[in-house]
């Protein structure tokens, strides 16, 4: 079972990954949180956008190769390589922060990689409004995230919705983080696991 958890900054991906990993006795693969470019990026996006995304892409490729060679039967992944490209890099390109030539190079590397790796059996998408994201970002208190622009988060949310509804092909379990608080309410976790088990037992795509 290979399950990936997708969602905007502050949506709760890491927390849900921890919960489900313990629940299923699985192996967790977490997003790189100490990327060497991330602090510089939030201080000067136009200068560091491409370097940040290439660094994340390389980290994701390395992680995926480790996943493939691990021999683990059950894996939960915190954020996917697809989000790196279709959400974050694409958004920075459209904002004019990654030049088209650099973006084309990035997408070429991305396409070569995704043709060689498996797609998750189920993608869990954490949908969350801007107020929910801002509250959770402030709660976890990462210094480099304290000045994230809400308009930036909003653009990412729009990208996520478009990606889920129009680009991603595969099973998607959508969790509305505004109302489904899997941290405060254990019954929400039970429902998520029930839905996940049902989707894993099905052979066709289910969104």
Instruction: Give me the active site residues, please.
Output: 78
Rg of the chain on CA atoms, in Å: 17
Q: Are strands 27-29 and 122-127 parallel, antiparallel or unpaired?
A: unpaired
In the chain, the N- to C-terminal Cα span, in Å, equals 18
* CA 207 – CA 197 distance, rounded (Å): 14
The CB density around residue 27, as the number of other CB atoms within 10 Å, is: 16
Q: What are phi and psi of 119, to 5 degrees?
A: -85, 150
């Amino acid at each position: 079972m290979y399950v990936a958890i997708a969602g905007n900054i502050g949506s709760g991906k890491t927390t849900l990954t921890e919960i489900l990993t313990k629940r299923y006795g699985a192996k967790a693969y977490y997003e790189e949180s100490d990327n060497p470019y991330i602090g510089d990026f939030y201080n000067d996006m136009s200068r560091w956008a491409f370097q940040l995304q290439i660094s994340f892409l390389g980290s994701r490729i390395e992680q995926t190769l480790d996943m493939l060679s691990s021999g683990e039967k059950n894996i939960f992944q915190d954020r996917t390589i697809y989000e790196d490209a279709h959400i974050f890099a694409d958004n920075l390109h459209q904002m004019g922060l990654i030049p088209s030539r650099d973006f084309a190079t990035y997408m070429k590397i991305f396409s070569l990689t995704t043709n060689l790796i498996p797609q998750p059996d189920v993608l869990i998408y954490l949908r969350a409004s801007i107020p929910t994201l801002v509250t959770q970002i402030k709660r976890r208190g990462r210094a480099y995230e304290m000045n994230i622009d809400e308009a930036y988060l909003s653009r990412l949310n729009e990208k996520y919705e478009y990606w889920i509804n129009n680009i991603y092909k595969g099973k998607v379990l959508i969790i509305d983080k505004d109302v489904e608080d899997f941290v405060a309410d254990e019954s929400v976790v039970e429902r998520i696991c029930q839905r996940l088990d049902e989707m894993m037992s099905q052979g066709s795509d289910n969104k």
